[in-house]
Amino acid sequence: MELLKDYLKTRVAYLKQKVHILEKEKEEFDKCFKKEKEQKEEYYKRANLMEKRSLEAQAELVVHRQRTHKLEEECKRLERKLRELNNEY
């Protein structure tokens, strides 16, 4: 009977130690998971910011192209008018 008690005490001590080790591993996994989650959120923020900047740049490009088109049309109109005036003289 005494032998069984010693065995059970040893087994319980071993299992407590194993539980302690597993708890430490869980804490480390939780830290890693939290860090990866924070990194993922940061990457999403950066991606959203980059997408926003891209859309703003595209909008600026459209406005610039519209202005350029208007100026080209105005330039053509003035050139025609200049030719007409030169033909009159």
Q: pLDDT tens digits, residue range 15-74?
A: 999 999 999 999 999 999 999 999 999 999 999 999 999 999 999 999 999 999 999 999
Total domains in the chain come to 1
Q: CA angle, corner 55, sides to 51 and 57, nearest 5?
A: 115
Structural domain boundaries enclosing 67: 1-89
**pTM reported for the whole predicted model:** 0.59
- Does residue 86 carry a pLDDT above 90? no
pLDDT at residue 14, rounded to an integer: 96
- Alpha-carbon distances, residue 69 vs 35, 64, 66, 81, 83 (angstroms): 51, 9, 5, 18, 21
Gap between the Cα atoms of 49 and 84, Å rounded? 52
Q: Which residue has the tokens 């008018």?
A: 81
In the structure, what pLDDT confidence band is assigned to residue 89 with cuts at 50, 70 and 90?
low
